[in-house]
Amino acid sequence: MNQQENLKRELKDRHIQLIAIGGAIGVGLFLGSAKAIQAAGPSLMFSYALAGIIIFFIMRALGELILYKPVSGSFSKYAEEFVGPWAGFFTGWSYWFMWIVTGMAEITAVGQYMTKWFPNLPQWIPALMSLIFVYIINLVAVKLFGEFEFWFALIKVVTIIALLAIGLVIISVGLGNIPATGISNLWSHGGFFPKGIVGMLLTLQMVAFAFQGVELVGVTAGEAENPNKSIPSAINKVLWRIMLFYVGSLFVIMSIYAWNQLDPTQSPFVVTFEKIGIPYAADIINFVVLTAALSSCNSGVFSTGRMLHSLALSKQAPAAFGKLNKRQVPSVGLTVSGAALLIGVILNYLVPEKAFVYVTSTALVGSLWTWGMIVVAHMKYRKAIKEKGLPEVSYKLPGAPITNWIVLLFLALIVVMLGVDQDTRVALYVAPIWFAILTVGYLYTKKRNAVTSTSTEKQAG
């Protein structure tokens, strides 16, 4: 399988480590956390901790599959091998579309962030420039993609560590003219669950999709320099990083400020940095979210190009998508994905906002499907070890298959919460349409491949 892919293994351990971190830290932590806090209060920390454990189980299942067969198609290939060709088709194309839609939103966001500094600059110009920038990065070499992701992720990490360090000083001893706050704000305004258990549950889908992209480390497996070492190392650190970066940040923010006094339209990071007198705090966070959006665009172009390449090798996409350039990069797949993102940027300006919301809702469905398919494929792999004698790896999902079922139940709970929340209910309307389109596409591809195979056999005969 690796020889067939023929991709260049240039991603070093430090690249994989930071790609894993970057995938777990989204723009929402810096900009949207105040809105999430208003929805659940301090219990939001519990939501992140619970979702973090589930994400860790998903990643451990993925890690076990990766060590069995480290390929760039990753979960799409595992779904195809252990569940069936249809599952590989559905997973590969759902993941491709998920990143295309996410990339559309992130490229548009780049344009919006740039207008803060250049209010007279048309928004489409920085959006287009960012797309060209990440396309060129991915076209040159996978090593260059890894290098940019390393620095993009490092910027986010340094910002969060700065918040944690400053916040802990304010909480414990105070800073300058700011007296020590202690942590009583965590329970003094309606308790730890001020909106009840239901309020906490309603944030689960918001929390889960903050981690959208954490599975990207699986797509890097086919180009990792030493996947047997770097992938398990990166995955093992996912849980404590989520606890530190998300739960830690929320602990600091809600200890310093009463949760019900935070302005949902303002970034808690900006408010905290301004509180201690850091100059240009808003500009600093704007720069951070700008690089975070660029990071997401970069990851989107990388992953969609690899997924098209993998689908082509499985004869579930046009054969041209499987071609590599001189630098062993799937240039055709990257170009097709780049073109799709360009169309998306144009559509984002032309179609009504609600129509675009319907499309982006499919990204939520794509994430849930991908995560669910990872744990289902993992269960089938474990079964195949016993029944078919497949090679067993030492790196395993703890507590399987019980943990597999816990993950699936959690994902089902998120689906229920999507239906309860009016803002996200549209995802459940979009999902059947999307899977109907995939069903037609799969049946057509299956029929085409059967005709091609019959024709080849006749010629050989």
Give the pLDDT score at 1.
Answer: 40
d(CA 266, CA 195): 21
Q: How confident is the model at residue 165 (pLDDT cuts 50, 70, 90)?
A: very high
Close Cβ partners of 456 (under 8 Å, ≥ 6 residues apart): none
| 104-113, 150-159, 316-325: segment of lowest average pLDDT | 104-113
In this predicted model, what pLDDT tens digit does every residue of 274-323 receive, in sequence order? 888 888 888 998 898 889 888 888 888 888 888 998 899 889 989 899 88
DSSP letters spanning 411-455: HHHHHHHHHHSTTTTHHHHHHHHHHHHHHHHHHHHHHHHHHHHHH
pLDDT at 10 over 80: no
In a domain, 391, yes or no: yes
Burial track 320-350 (b if 16+ CB lie within 10 A, e otherwise): ebbebeeebbbbbbbbbbbebbbebbeebee
Q: How far is CA 277 from CA 233, 272, 281, in A?
A: 38, 9, 8
Close Cβ partners of 127 (under 8 Å, ≥ 6 residues apart): 107, 108, 110, 111, 345
In a domain, 13, yes or no: yes
In this predicted model, what pLDDT tens digit does every residue of 376-420 receive, in sequence order? 999 999 999 999 999 999 999 999 999 999 999 999 999 998 888
d(CA 405, CA 291): 37
Q: Which secondary structure element, helix H or strand E, spans residue 378, and what is its range?
A: helix 353-388
Q: How confident is the model at residue 2 (pLDDT cuts 50, 70, 90)?
A: very low
Tokens of 240: 């404590």
- Phi first, then psi: give them for residue 188, nearest 5 degrees: -85, -5
Averaged pLDDT for residues 107-114? 83
- Counting the structural domains of the chain, the total is 1
| 37-46, 74-83, 138-147, 380-389: segment of lowest average pLDDT | 138-147
Burial track 199-236 (b if 16+ CB lie within 10 A, e otherwise): bbbbbbbbbbbbbbbbbbbbbbbbbbbebeebbbebbe
Q: Report DSSP state, residue 246.
A: I
Domain that holds residue 308: 2-446
d(CA 55, CA 247): 14
Give the pLDDT score at 353.
Answer: 66
Tokens of 47: 């939501």
Whose tokens are 């007279």? That residue is: 120
Written in H, E and C, the secondary structure of 184-225 is: HHHCCCCCCCCCHHHHHHHCHHHHHHHHCCCCHHHHHHHHEC
Q: Name 11's bridge partners.
A: 224
Give the pLDDT score at 354.
Answer: 65
Burial track 167-177 (b if 16+ CB lie within 10 A, e otherwise): beebbeeebee
Distance of CA 345 to the CA centre of its chain: 20
Report the CATH number at residue 59.
1.20.1740.10
Give the pLDDT score at 68.
Answer: 92
pLDDT at 4 over 60: no
pTM given for the model? 0.91
Give the pLDDT score at 250.
Answer: 93
In a domain, 431, yes or no: yes
For the chain, the average pLDDT equals 87
- Say what the alpha-carbon torsion angle 248, 103, 115, 163 is, to the nearest 10 degrees: 10
Give the pLDDT score at 5.
Answer: 56
pLDDT at 3 over 60: no
Residue 291 one-letter amino acid = T
- Phi first, then psi: give them for residue 175, nearest 5 degrees: -145, 115
In a domain, 458, yes or no: no
| 107-111, 186-190, 263-267, 453-457: segment of lowest average pLDDT | 453-457
Beta carbons within 10 angstroms of residue 151's beta carbon: 12
In a domain, 456, yes or no: no
d(CA 104, CA 297): 8
Give the pLDDT score at 71.
Answer: 82
In a domain, 451, yes or no: no
Give the pLDDT score at 295.
Answer: 87
Averaged pLDDT for residues 36-46? 92
Give the pLDDT score at 460.
Answer: 62
In this predicted model, what pLDDT tens digit does every residue of 175-229 receive, in sequence order? 888 888 899 999 999 999 999 998 899 888 888 878 888 888 888 877 788 888 8
d(CA 166, CA 278): 11
Give the pLDDT score at 357.
Answer: 67
Stronger pLDDT, 29 or 171, i.e. the higher one:
171
Q: How far is CA 268 from CA 31, 69, 88, 161, in A?
A: 8, 42, 41, 14
Q: Which secondary structure element, helix H or strand E, spans residue 301, and what is its range?
A: helix 281-313
Written in H, E and C, the secondary structure of 347-365 is: HHHHCCHHHHHHHHHHHHH
d(CA 324, CA 326): 7
Give the pLDDT score at 78.
Answer: 94
pLDDT at 373 over 90: yes
In a domain, 263, yes or no: yes
Percent of the chain residues topping a pLDDT of 70: 94
d(CA 58, CA 66): 12
pLDDT at 28 over 80: no
In a domain, 460, yes or no: no
Give the pLDDT score at 332.
Answer: 92
